[in-house]
Amino acid sequence: MNILSVQGLTKQYPSFTLQSVSFSLSYGRIMGLIGVNGAGKTTTLKSILNMVCPDDGQIEMLGRSFPDNELACKQEIGVVFGGVDFYQHKKLRDITNVTRRFYTNWDESAYQKYMQEFNLDELKQVKQLSAGMRVKYSIALALSHHAKLLIFDEPTSGLDPVSRDDLLVLFRQLIKDGQRSILFSTHITSDLEKCADDITYIKKGKVLASAEKESFIQSFQHLKEPSDSRGLTLEEVMLRTERGSNNV
Ligand SMILES: Nc1ncnc2c1ncn2[C@@H]1O[C@H](COP(=O)(O)OP(=O)(O)O)[C@@H](O)[C@H]1O
Ligand SMILES: [Mg+2]
């Protein structure tokens, strides 16, 4: 069964259209949503979650329609969007207190365990955390209400290489038991080499390809040049697709 299924998702802005985006994610897998800046990654994630109102499309999460069961679905997901951060001056403890009240299946001992494991101090303010620690705190909150689907918008952007690697290792651990899945957007191809099972590539608001990593790369073999003796890397796929004259 799919943990997330997106069919024909469409969102129109005055100068941009997210055009009939479709893909699905199974349990126990990590999907990377990749594309250059402005390709429509954030718009896709926000439309899935009804944070912006999509014009068309069906979203099924954990086997039911997301828009028809939004509150119930939200109990079972963990969502982290970068960029805007409202809580700079708040202590983690205060944010946790608000979050705890929202979730019916909040697990305090799991929360304490993850805070300790991630070396997070509840008495610190958000602004005192590094970018990597902020993502880890969000993950701790998500795991404390046993979120099955984690959705992150560019979680690794702005992280140093070591923190980025730590986070990707953590992602792999989180899905290991097959009970959870992760969907995260990135423009960093090395994130996907290290971490993704599946890749959805979005260009100018359209899905170019969505597949398991190896078949994804295979589907771009037409971009190979005669001098390429080996398979293409993800970086080559992306550079050649974005720059190629054969405007895919
Ligand atoms: N609220 C909005 N109103 C109008 N246009 C928007 C809005 N949000 C995003 N866009 C436009 O949609 C396009 C895709 O943006 P976005 O989804 O943020 O791309 P990405 O996350 O891949 O960098 C951009 O051209 C952006 O200007
Ligand atoms: Mg974005």
Does residue 228 surpass a pLDDT of 90? no
**Is residue 83 lining ligand 1, measured as CB closer than 6 Å?**
no
Return the ligand number nearest the Cα of 154.
2
Q: What integer is the mean pLDDT of 145-156?
A: 94
**Is residue 46 lining ligand 1, measured as CB closer than 6 Å?**
no
Q: Across all residues in the chain, what is the average pLDDT?
A: 93
User: Would you give the distance in Å from CA 244 to the centre of its chain?
Assistant: 27
User: Would you give the distance in Å from CA 37 to the centre of its chain?
Assistant: 15
Encoded tokens for 122: 């509840």
Phi, psi angle pair for 232, to nearest 5°: -80, 150
**Is residue 35 lining ligand 1, measured as CB closer than 6 Å?**
yes
Does residue 151 surpass a pLDDT of 50? yes
**Is residue 18 lining ligand 1, measured as CB closer than 6 Å?**
no
CA of residue 214 to ligand 2 center, whole Å: 25
| Strand pairing category for 149-153 and 77-81 | parallel
Give the position, in ligand 1's atom list, of the atom nearest the Cα of 205.
Answer: 14
**Is residue 12 lining ligand 1, measured as CB closer than 6 Å?**
no
Alpha-helix runs per DSSP H in 49-130: 70-75, 92-102, 108-117
Long-range CB pairs of 114-122 (<8 Å, 24+ gap) are: 114/139, 114/140, 114/143, 114/144, 115/140, 120/92, 121/92, 122/91, 122/92, 122/93, 122/96
Encoded tokens for 243: 């720059």
What percent of the chain has a predicted confidence (pLDDT) above 90? 80
**Is residue 37 lining ligand 1, measured as CB closer than 6 Å?**
yes
Residues 69-118 pLDDT 10s: 999 999 999 998 865 455 788 999 999 999 999 999 999 999 999 999 99
The confidence score (pLDDT) of residue 85 equals 59
Residues 42-73 pLDDT 10s: 999 999 999 999 999 999 999 999 999 999 99
Please name the residues in contact with 62: beta carbons below 8 A apart, sequence gap of 6 or more: 3, 73, 76, 148, 149
Q: How confident is the model at residue 227 (pLDDT cuts 50, 70, 90)?
A: confident
Going by alpha carbons, the residue nearest to atom 8 of ligand 1 is 43
